[in-house]
Structure 1
Amino acid sequence: MTGMLTAIGLMSGTSLDGIDVALLRTDGEAVVERGPSMGRSYDVAFRRRLQGALETAKMIGERGERPGDLDEIERELTLRHAEAVRAFLTENDLRPDDIDVIGFHGQTVLHRPNQGLTVQLGDGDLLARETGIDVVYDMRANDMAHGGQGAPLIPAYHAALAAGLSRASGEAVVFVNIGGISNITFVGSGSEIVAYDSGPGNTLIDQWVEAHAGIPYDQGGLIASEGRVDAGLVERYLGHVFFTDKVRRSLDRNDFRPPQGAEASLEDGARTLAHVTAAAILRSARHLPERPKLYVVCGGGRLNPVIMDDLAALAGSEGAAVVAAEAVDLNGDSMEAEAWAYLAVRSLRGLPLTFPGTTGVTAPVTGGLLRKAAPSD
């Protein structure tokens, strides 16, 4: 399959906040034409069901198992994605026939790379039937079957975007995605790509403020801005073996846990965890081939000025600049959804999704399962 395809990418991340939808026209290689995007938030009740699903998923021993109510949640999650696609098409005056493929991430509820086990809730067959569009999904599993960590998958898209950035010749750039878990992609002056999870992102702050203030996240870093950094807590997190281990590995949402309730006030806990989010990125960047001069930040964490200020200060001490994706004409909200559209096209063309330098896979491999939509009458 060659030429340009029109793809929709769907992303529901570890923050459990909702669905991002983005449209892309691409050949799956160097040509990327970014289109419209939108986000749809989950209601509080469904978000809590997803939080419960994370606990239920701990019982899973095989990828196909759906203990408890996971089957029911998977169906509802898929139907919500289908509704998001329909709303997106209507909003942008598009028809299903205008779209060649949907890249469907689903909702990660379990990720144990050391066991070769990753589970994303999402029914590709149902989504294809509901939308009338071909669907590529389950894009992590083949990487893990070939010795990879199953994450991160976005670096192939980051490399395509880096080619369009204005930067000094030979200047390395790092894309930082601060979602529930943070990850970084290093793009060198040549074709070298190195990527890995860099530590906890928003998940610790989200869990902390939800437990102590009853709200899903610290909007605009307002709570953190009223607190102080607890250096002891910071060192406890940064002393985790994850940051010193020579082998980079992908993280599960539960690999780092928020402090105990009595360890900090609401404000000091939020402030400390914001600093941990920033410091973890720079600590993990020590494993890169060289220190970059530019960090481009996407994901929800870029909207927290406390995280961004700490990251800018820490990177600045190493002679690097930090900018939000929008400063280089990219979309920090939709980048992951765009990536899933891009990866779906690569999957259709049999191109690699992951590489030894991104997931530790033994050789570049493609991935994903294709579910064809029923022919329209």
Structure 2
Amino acid sequence: MKQFKVLGLMSGTSLDGLDLCYCHITKDLDKWSFEIKETKSISYSDDMQSELKDSIYLKADELLQFHNTYGTWLGQQAKQFISDIKLEVDFIASHGHTTHHQPKNGLTFQIGSGQHLANESGCKVVCDFRTNDVALGGQGAPLVPIGDQLFFGAYELCLNLGGISNISLEQKGKRIAYDIGLANMILNYITRKIDLAYDKGGELAASGKVNQNMLDRLNGLKYYLLPHPKSIGYEWFVEEVVPIVDITDDSIENLLHTSIHHICEKVAQQVKLNSTKEESSLFVTGGGALNDFLIETLQEKLGKSTKVVVPEKELIEFKEAVVFALMGVLRMEKEINVLKSVTGAKRDSSSGVLYLPA
């Protein structure tokens, strides 16, 4: 039996903040398990949120400078967390923050320099988990399915509702996964119009009504017609979705209500397409799992054949950080952590780059 003490760092497309999750990951024969020990979420300041959101417009030298300063900031947060709780850490596994994701152009970029993070924190760091897969012709996303396979294989389908919605499942003995489409990214974009970080529990959305014209426009996005493997990033959202939201003259409540119906319709379509049993379970994590109205609407659209399973809040919020900790462990052990059946790459890979503190 082997045990690894890892600090996982995750910053997602919903731009709500940095998740730190200290966990023990154990391999007993061929079975992997985890135990969450300590967690912390750090909300981004308004300035940091704006910088991250607008980073796709930076010139190359400005972006690289931000890459370094953000890496230093990540290192400072990790060091403080480790020091405050007096943690024993084998290494840090960091996702970074995706600024550019264009797999069709052969590029993906997550800022948060591993060397700066390592130097500032004083710990070994494994990061840059996506680049190798894209270099192998893959989408570089989604990556969480390796965790679904090794940690949550008891569920027929796993759904993550972060900034983007993605689904993961076993098909003909292989794990497949892909980005379905929108989730919190559109909801948070709408609430920020009234200086609200997010719609707690979906209360505003629940009081709205469907704007049919907006729903038709969202449902008609070309991305939904593409076959998997496929993935989307913030650029797609800015180019394809923001104009639809901005052109719709309606209340915030109706914009949110319509967006949730769109999200749930698209998720339900994919779940029904991939369900092979009369009764199946859908394991839901990510910030969207805390949106009561979204979960109720999703269950309604799925009907009785699929049971929506929402775990405890800690796992909802920190699942991705746990999975990136696992990916770091697999990289250190030289085991596969990115699946070609998910990303469409030429081969499975053990991805991630190791940085040692100077």
| TM-score > 0.5, shorter chain as reference | yes
Cα drift, residue 122 of structure 1: 1.0
> Is the contact between residue 136 and residue 368 of structure 1 (CA under 8 Å) also seen in structure 2?
yes
CA gap of 1:262–1:153, structure 2 versus 1, over 3 A, is closer
Cα drift, residue 38 of structure 1: 1.5
Aligned to 1:41: 43
Aligned to 2:23: 24
Counterpart Cα distance in 2 of 1:248 and 1:192: 13
Q: CA RMSD in A?
A: 2.2
**Which blocks of at least 5 consecutive residues in structure 2 are unaligned?**
none
**Quick one: which of 315, 333, 337 aligns to 1:331?**
315
Is 1:107 paired with 2:97?
yes
Cα drift, residue 285 of structure 1: 3.2
> Is the contact between residue 243 and residue 284 of structure 1 (CA under 8 Å) also seen in structure 2?
no
Counterpart Cα distance in 1 of 2:64 and 2:348: 33
**Quick one: which of 228, 236, 248 aligns to 1:255?**
236
Aligned to 1:281: 267
Aligned to 2:190: 208
> Is the contact between residue 79 and residue 120 of structure 2 (CA under 8 Å) also seen in structure 1?
no
Aligned to 1:84: 77
Aligned to 1:147: 137
Cα drift, residue 191 of structure 1: 4.9
Aligned to 1:192: 174
Is 1:3 paired with 2:5?
no
Aligned to 1:312: 299
CA gap of 1:49–1:246, structure 2 versus 1, over 3 A, is closer
> Is the contact between residue 279 and residue 311 of structure 1 (CA under 8 Å) also seen in structure 2?
yes
Structure-to-structure mapping, 1:260-271, within 5 angstroms? 260-271=246-257
What one-letter code is carried by the residue in structure 1 that aligns with 2:111? Answer: L
Aligned to 1:169: none
> Is the contact between residue 17 and residue 41 of structure 2 (CA under 8 Å) also seen in structure 1?
yes
Counterpart Cα distance in 2 of 1:117 and 1:285: 29
Aligned to 2:208: 227
Cα drift, residue 289 of structure 1: 6.7
User: With structure 1 as the length reference, what TM-score do the two structures score?
Assistant: 0.86
Structure-to-structure mapping, 1:127-138, within 5 angstroms? 127-138=117-128
> Is the contact between residue 27 and residue 345 of structure 1 (CA under 8 Å) also seen in structure 2?
no
Per-residue displacement from partner, 1:231-271 (whole Å, max 9, x unpaired)? 33223222223222223310012324131244322110011
Aligned to 2:326: 342
Counterpart Cα distance in 2 of 1:242 and 1:286: 19
SS at match of 1:334: helix
Counterpart Cα distance in 2 of 1:362 and 1:282: 30
SS at match of 2:234: coil
**Quick one: which of 139, 158, 161 aligns to 1:178?**
161
Cα drift, residue 287 of structure 1: 5.0
Per-residue displacement from partner, 1:9-33 (whole Å, max 9, x unpaired)? 1001001111101122225663222
What one-letter code is carried by the residue in structure 2 that aligns with 1:215? Answer: L
Aligned to 1:168: none
Counterpart Cα distance in 1 of 2:95 and 2:40: 16
Counterpart Cα distance in 2 of 1:155 and 1:99: 25
Moved more, 152-161 or 47-56: 47-56
Cα drift, residue 80 of structure 1: 2.5
What one-letter code is carried by the residue in structure 2 that aligns with 1:126? Answer: H
User: With structure 2 as the length reference, what TM-score do the two structures score?
Assistant: 0.90
CA gap of 1:254–1:278, structure 2 versus 1, over 3 A, is farther
Per-residue displacement from partner, 1:310-341 (whole Å, max 9, x unpaired)? 11111225x101121228xx711010001111
CA gap of 1:233–1:20, structure 2 versus 1, over 3 A, is same
Cα drift, residue 131 of structure 1: 1.1
Is 1:70 paired with 2:69?
no
SS at match of 2:95: strand
Higher percent of residues as helix: 2
> Is the contact between residue 194 and residue 288 of structure 1 (CA under 8 Å) also seen in structure 2?
no
What one-letter code is carried by the residue in structure 1 that aligns with 2:261? Answer: H
What one-letter code is carried by the residue in structure 2 that aligns with 1:210? Answer: R
Cα drift, residue 215 of structure 1: 2.1
**Which blocks of at least 5 consecutive residues in structure 1 are unaligned?**
60-65, 166-171
SS at match of 1:350: coil
> Is the contact between residue 24 and residue 342 of structure 1 (CA under 8 Å) also seen in structure 2?
no
Counterpart Cα distance in 2 of 1:176 and 1:25: 24
Counterpart Cα distance in 2 of 1:289 and 1:314: 14
Counterpart Cα distance in 2 of 1:287 and 1:137: 34
Counterpart Cα distance in 1 of 2:272 and 2:57: 33
SS at match of 1:331: helix
Counterpart Cα distance in 2 of 1:309 and 1:208: 20
> Is the contact between residue 72 and residue 113 of structure 2 (CA under 8 Å) also seen in structure 1?
no
